[in-house]
Chains A and B, each alone.
Chain A
Amino acid sequence: MEETKNNFVKAYEEHVDALYRYTMFNVRDKESAKDIVQNTFTKTWNYIAMGGEIDNIKAFLYKTLKNLIIDYYRSKKSASLDTLMEDEYFDPPAPVEVSIEEHAESLLAFKLLDKIPAEYKEVIMLRCVEGLSFKEIAHVLSEAENTVAVRFHRALKKVKELFHRKNAYNIND
């Protein structure tokens, strides 16, 4: 049992930032994102405590997180999704360890990723930013692995088209 607990804490340390980033990308509110991430871990622990088996903790955490984000949107029905997506809601303060410039660049990057069509945005985010495999993404999105791979390649093509057309995403080092 102690080993299970240690493994869970290790999983927390390993994945918490990525889960937070993914949540922020979706909910655009720092406090809500933190709550959702915390709930993701407590719900996953409850599943383990009840004797549930998990093959891939990373994919399981993302799947739980995705469901909690959907619940979050449902609870925020009164506030439209468009409002949540507005830029002023997406202005979390920079962590102490990260410079203000770096943090601002991260936020800018998220804003740029928002330009990608919605159907491709999530798969780009999960694959490129969070580093999930197609198999893991397929588990999170409840889709076939092949469908995810095809969508990802179409998304990359779309990104290239977008960059070529607008030529507006020149980011300096």
Chain B
Amino acid sequence: MIDNNFKKIIKRAKGLVLSIQEKEQIKSSILMHMEANPAQIGVLWQDASTASSFFKWKDFANVRYAIPALILVFFVFAGASTFAASRALPGDLLYPLKILGEKVASNLAIGPADKEKVATVQAETRLEEAETLQAQGRLDEEKKATLARSFHQNVRDTGSDEGSFIKKLSTSSRAMAVDITASSSIQIFDDTEGSKHEEKSKEDSHRDKQFESEVKPEMQVIPKIDEVKNAVIKKL
């Protein structure tokens, strides 16, 4: 009864409409306005039935969407950067990011066993990087030295000595480990022993100069044996 009465009220309320003449009159005014103010671009709209709820750029202006969108963009960017960095090699732009990530992983490792595991993986990663660089023909002495330094550090972090660590590696990795550590040894030798030799040669040269300036002139004063001999023979 109540519902029916309410429906009747609603139905009758809907009966309040404009006459055809009134509608046409308003329409012609609107059309004149449209002619005077033409649309610059062909903008269309969608009816409610076909309206897309998909994200639109203007929604970005709404703070309700902007903050989650920015967080999403940040995570996507961070994820993409981390993924790209994980494949970076020495000399690449993102390689420092990879090393930084490894340092963070080392610091986050809890307990000696965990730390050793992380260091082992990182040491093996250095060798893999060296192998990849070699395959690409990009493994120069500078990169070898960089890799070797990291490798030494990683091996030290595992708590085992380098010899026994290398022995545990696969054949190809072992070869690469020997290669980069050998070159680094030369590099270290160049850096330390080489400088010692240089100092020694400097000392030698100084000594030679001293000899030339101080001892040699005195030696010239000493008569030669043949001259002494001849003088004795003449006297006799």
Whether A102 and B15, one on each chain, are in contact in the complex, defined by CB atoms closer than 8 angstroms, is: yes
Q: For B10, B26, B43, B44, which residue has the most chain A Cβ atoms within 10 angstroms?
A: B43
Q: B209 interface residue, CB < 8 Å from A?
A: no
A8–B51 Cα distance when bound, in Å, is: 16
Which residues of A sit under 8 angstroms from B30, Cβ to Cβ?
12, 38, 41-42, 45
Whether A171 and B43, one on each chain, are in contact in the complex, defined by CB atoms closer than 8 angstroms, is: no
Q: A56 interface residue, CB < 8 Å from B?
A: yes
Whether A96 and B26, one on each chain, are in contact in the complex, defined by CB atoms closer than 8 angstroms, is: no
Q: A133 interface residue, CB < 8 Å from B?
A: yes
Which residues of B sit under 8 angstroms from A59, Cβ to Cβ?
48
Contact of A53 among B11, B37, B45 (CB under 8 A): B45
Q: How large is the interface on B (under 10, 10 to 19, 20 to 34, 35 or more residues)?
A: 35 or more
Whether B29 and A49, one on each chain, are in contact in the complex, defined by CB atoms closer than 8 angstroms, is: no
Q: B13 interface residue, CB < 8 Å from A?
A: yes
Whether B10 and A128, one on each chain, are in contact in the complex, defined by CB atoms closer than 8 angstroms, is: yes
Q: A142 interface residue, CB < 8 Å from B?
A: no
Give the interface SS of chain A, mostly helix, strand, loop or mixed.
helix
Whether B9 and A51, one on each chain, are in contact in the complex, defined by CB atoms closer than 8 angstroms, is: no
Q: A66 interface residue, CB < 8 Å from B?
A: no
Q: B35 → chain A, closest Cβ, in Å? A: 9
Q: Say which one of B17-25, B121-129, B137-145, B177-185 lies at the interface with A.
A: B17-25
A residues apposed to B, CB below 8 Å: 1, 3-5, 7-9, 12-13, 16-17, 20-21, 24-25, 34, 37-38, 41-42, 45-46, 48-60, 92, 95-98, 102-103, 105-110, 112-113, 125, 128-129, 133, 135-136, 159-160, 163-164, 169-171, 173
Which residues of A sit under 8 angstroms from B16, Cβ to Cβ?
20-21, 24, 92, 103, 106-107, 110
Q: A94 → chain B, closest Cβ, in Å? A: 9
Known contacts A16-B18, A95-B18, A45 near B45 by CB under 8 Å: no
With CB as the reference atom, state the residue of chain A lying closest to B14: A129
Whether A52 and B2, one on each chain, are in contact in the complex, defined by CB atoms closer than 8 angstroms, is: no
9 contacts between A and B (CB under 8 A): A9-B27, A13-B23, A16-B18, A42-B29, A45-B30, A56-B45, A98-B15, A128-B10, A160-B6
With CB as the reference atom, state the residue of chain A lying closest to B11: A109
